[in-house]
Structure 1
Amino acid sequence: MKKILFGAFVMCSMLVVTAQEKDAVIENMIKEANENSQLEALGHHIMDVIGPRLVGTPQMKEAHDWAVATYEKWGIPAENQQYGEWKAWERGITHIDMVSPRVQSLSGTQLAWSPSTGPKGVTAELVILPTVKDSLEFKNWLKNVKGKLVMVSEYQITGRPDYNWEEFATPESFEKMKKERDSLTREFYSNIRRTGYTTRNIHEALESAGAVGIVSSYWSKGFGANKIFASRTKRIPTVDIQLEDYGMLYRLVEYGNKPKIKIVAESKDLGVAPTFNTIAQIKGSEKPDEYVVLSAHFDSWDGGTGATDNGTGTLVMMEAMRLLKKFYPNPKRTILVGHWGSEEQGLNGSRAFVEDHPEMMDKIQAVFNQDNGTGRVVNLSGAGYLHAYDYLTRWLRAVPKDITKHIETNFPGSPSGGGSDNASFVAAGAPSFNLSSLNWSYWNYTWHTNLDTYDKIVFDDVRNNAILTAILAYMASEDDTKVSSEKIILPVSERTGKQMEWPTQRSPERRGGLD
């Protein structure tokens, strides 16, 4: 009996010590994150020094190399893993100026992968797309674009976002504006269809007809915000001009004032560049062949500096890895972080990793992905894994209440078919969870816009997300059991009437812009 009691005492003592050790690791990570955060310095280097991280650019490669060097400085082995090639291009100086009927500098930029104008630039009169009855009429009109710059975007009747109208306009005035706007939008797209083209391929027709440049304006429905994506031309430049200046130019054309602008866009075609994922890991001490994966895409569009898409996700994962290495240097399972390339063009980096490492997929304990802005995490879904409630809620209990009180959980949830890199792992059956954050006007103001810059980062929220991620990774690594990846039976789709199927794995684009 004494032996039994002594054994029980030893066992209880060991459990108490283990619990105290766990508490100490978590407390130390929280203290370090709050008192010695590296987020601001890391953010400065990524956004201010390196800048936007468009796939195929020298800045993207610089970011990958910097991340490897930073991890190695922290004692974390890291490497750049090549998965493909991309059209190599570098943005240069962009100047857009109206030169007639008066002189005014305009706000705008060249679109990604757009051909250069050269240092002398292009000066030409602007024309707008005509209203046509059919494709034959449009074909006959095309001769008018030779030597001209063609405006291809919809004219916006207001530059005020809806929330501004709601605050100040009468209900009648607001409704009137919305009806007029909706009517004009429907007619714009109907007219595009009547030309025989789409908004995606009409640029090629204009280029073939002799236009010397394309002028667009993709308003993001917020003050001063435009979405900045890719050029669709091969020989002539494409620029995006902010709503306020685009509207002025459009009206000048409509009123017959024949405006002219000069575009100087000195980009460089650099041929072909390799594309990478940056992978770093803290090797597991007991189960090195099982993995906890931290996930965030590293690339961005380049209208701004990619601060909230996905600079903040990158900061969360880097800071979480720093905390884990400092206070949990010998994890039970291997903790791996993936900074994925070319997410913006179709989750290419993470899809390549999943495709290239099939042996890892059934050994993944959990993937934690963050990708939607600077806000604190407010939603965690079970992603369609039947038993996700059991382990996610267990891990969340270790997170401070001032963080978890903001988080709404959704179990069992449903699998993501796209949108961010967690979907690449979900398709392979690996338990993968998106840490969805508070909006902070993300969609209108920073998602893929010219305003996605360092000043939009809310570091208090990002710091909380780093603490959350570090603790979730720690708890997942320490868990005594390998979690279940059993999937739910998906319901019948209300849209199709057929039973929904689990997302299937897709191959990445490995030769972007080259074929």
Structure 2
Amino acid sequence: MPKHVKKWFIFCLTILCSTTSIGVFAKIDNAKIKSLQQMSLESSLSYEIVESLTVEVGPRLPGSPADLKTVAWAEAKFKALNYDKIYKEPVEIPVWTRGAASAEITAPFPQPIVITALGGSVATPDEGIEAEIVRFDNIEQLQQADSKLVEGKIVFIDPITERHRTGKGYGKVVGARSKGAVESAKKGALAVVIRSIGTDSDRFAHTGMMRYSDDTIKIPAAAMSVPDANQVNAMLDRGQPVRIKMNLSPASKGVASSYNVIGEITGSTYPDEIILLGAHHDSWDEGTGALDDGAGVGIVMATGALIKKHSVQPKRTIRVVLYAAEEIGLIGGKAYAKAHEKELDKHRFALESDFGAGLIWRLDTRVNPAALEDMKNIARMLEPLGIEMGHNNAGGGPDISMLPGYGVPVINLQQDGSDYFDYHHTPNDTLDKIDPAKIAQNTTAWVTFAVMAAEVDAQLRPIPERK
């Protein structure tokens, strides 16, 4: 974000906060909110936290030595940021190592291709697997195919990920990754390889978690880079069978302990009532996890720290949760819901940052309609940041996706994810992809929401069913 844009944000904040009554938020002086927003917008704290995490820890695969290093880093960082209360909660996770991955087209035009193992995949035999490929546009086409077409071959699933601001193209095609191995094995395939679930044209393969089923054989599963998928298609267009040889050496190594790491800013009036701000501290091992989800870690940790630094005592407790093992199945999120089940009725709001560091452009809610006027008041304070009021149908985020089932109101501060899936789960997920000004805008929005949400006394439940 150019400096002149940041100055415009600050100018708009000044005008809005000097002219807008914030009604039920009168206990927070308008000037105090304006000052807090300006300080946050000009702060580099969230960027500095991501830099610290990616440089001092790096990639953070669940169950790896770096995973526990991340836990120690998070505890130390919460302490350095002067949080009132810091603790961790254990989570048991499966341990999987990536090993090496290589592949080549052996016929009709021999040449190497770039692949990576999908998370949780089994290994190929030491000599690898070589077979003719059979191509499908998507997982649904594979499911409808005759087994005779698939048996003894390597399945190639080739979905195109559409680019969208909201990232909705990902949801349309990710089933190829998660279900591809099971559906291929059901029809007698030797292995499965998918076009990377991504919007880029870089020669990087996108990893990500896949699943097996107890009633089907486990076959190796990999993703190939988008340019290599295009290359394979060009060969298929020439009307000759295409054969691929692939070697993967991942391994499952039992279970280990990790931790959800939690920091709190204690509420002044209702300390037992919670505003939950979440992100996940693990990452895939190909890049350094800057966007997924180092950015979220930086945003939520900085939010509480900036509120504390500015001497704002929230009415309710702000709880920052750094979840473990999101990438391999929302394990930390599920563990949190189970461990805190008896106090979830005290959770006033839950929101999560797990979509990179693009500018926030919309506030989505999921609260009792009676509380929507309070949400609109908050939205008005976010307008100078370029954020509009959205719908009352929010999902919340991956690690908090189970909380609406307990009646917890959830919020989405929607980021612009137009380029997020260029880098997602690749070696290209690195710190240089984060714009310091954009992550500062994110943090300012989170600070504004957290402070104002802590003041809301309206009845937030029951929340509406999600459409």
TM-score by length of 1: 0.67
Deviation readout 1:136-186 (Å, 9 max, x if unpaired): 635xx74xx4xxxx5312458xx99899xxxxxxxxxxxxxxxxxxxxxxx
Question: In the aligned structure 1, how far is the partner of 2:27 from the partner of 2:440?
Answer: 24
Deviation readout 1:13-42 (Å, 9 max, x if unpaired): xxxxx9798456545544543444123332
Residue 67 of structure 2: which of 41, 46, 60 is its match?
A: 60
Residue 204 of structure 1: which of 171, 179, 185 is its match?
A: 185
Residue 403 of structure 2: which of 421, 425, 433 is its match?
A: 425
Deviation readout 1:432-482 (Å, 9 max, x if unpaired): 21111223333x5245556444333233222111112112222333x2x63
8 A Cα contact 2:198 2:206, kept in partner: yes
Question: In the aligned structure 2, how far is the partner of 1:124 from the partner of 1:200?
Answer: 15
Say if 2:439 is the partner of 1:462.
Answer: yes
Residues 59 and 327 of structure 1: CA distance in aligned 2, closer, same or farther (over 3 Å): same
Counterpart for residue 271 of structure 1:
254
Residue 137 of structure 1: which of 148, 165, 186 is its match?
A: 148
Question: In the aligned structure 2, how far is the partner of 1:251 from the partner of 1:279?
Answer: 50
Residues 91 and 310 of structure 1: CA distance in aligned 2, closer, same or farther (over 3 Å): same
Q: What amino acid sits opposite 2:320 in the alignment?
A: V
Residues 358 and 57 of structure 1: CA distance in aligned 2, closer, same or farther (over 3 Å): same
Question: In the aligned structure 2, how far is the partner of 1:63 from the partner of 1:445?
Answer: 25
Question: In the aligned structure 1, how far is the partner of 2:127 from the partner of 2:431?
Answer: 32
Q: What amino acid sits opposite 1:78 in the alignment?
A: I
Residue 195 of structure 2: which of 217, 222, 225 is its match?
A: 217
8 A Cα contact 1:203 1:232, kept in partner: no
Residues 71 and 450 of structure 1: CA distance in aligned 2, closer, same or farther (over 3 Å): same
CA deviation after TM superposition for structure 1 residue 219, in Å: 4.8
Residues 434 and 257 of structure 1: CA distance in aligned 2, closer, same or farther (over 3 Å): closer
Q: Residues 15-54 of structure 1: matches in 2 within 5 Å? A: 22=29, 25-26=32-33, 29-54=36-61
Say if 2:78 is the partner of 1:71.
Answer: yes
8 A Cα contact 1:90 1:267, kept in partner: yes
CA deviation after TM superposition for structure 1 residue 289, in Å: 1.4
Residues 232 and 152 of structure 1: CA distance in aligned 2, closer, same or farther (over 3 Å): farther
Counterpart for residue 410 of structure 1:
390
Question: In the aligned structure 1, how far is the partner of 2:437 from the partner of 2:319?
Answer: 25
Counterpart for residue 82 of structure 1:
90
Counterpart for residue 358 of structure 1:
341
Residues 124 and 226 of structure 1: CA distance in aligned 2, closer, same or farther (over 3 Å): closer
Counterpart for residue 228 of structure 2:
245
What's the secondary structure of 2:438's corresponding residue? Answer: helix
What's the secondary structure of 2:209's corresponding residue? Answer: coil
Gaps of 5+ in 1: 1-17, 164-188, 193-197, 491-500, 504-515
Counterpart for residue 334 of structure 1:
317
Deviation readout 1:215-245 (Å, 9 max, x if unpaired): 4333535423754223557876433221322
Deviation readout 1:310-366 (Å, 9 max, x if unpaired): 332222101112212222364432211112234455544334323322343332333
Say if 2:72 is the partner of 1:91.
Answer: no
What's the secondary structure of 1:392's corresponding residue? Answer: helix
8 A Cα contact 1:58 1:90, kept in partner: no
Q: What amino acid sits opposite 2:252 in the alignment?
A: D
Q: What amino acid sits opposite 1:127 in the alignment?
A: E
Gaps of 5+ in 2: 1-24, 137-141, 165-174
Residues 232 and 429 of structure 1: CA distance in aligned 2, closer, same or farther (over 3 Å): closer
Residues 255 and 272 of structure 1: CA distance in aligned 2, closer, same or farther (over 3 Å): same
Q: Residues 139-154 of structure 1: matches in 2 within 5 Å? A: 142=151, 145=152, 150-154=153-157
Larger radius of gyration: 1
Residue 115 of structure 1: which of 103, 116, 122 is its match?
A: 122
- CA RMSD in angstroms comes to 4.1
8 A Cα contact 1:365 1:483, kept in partner: no
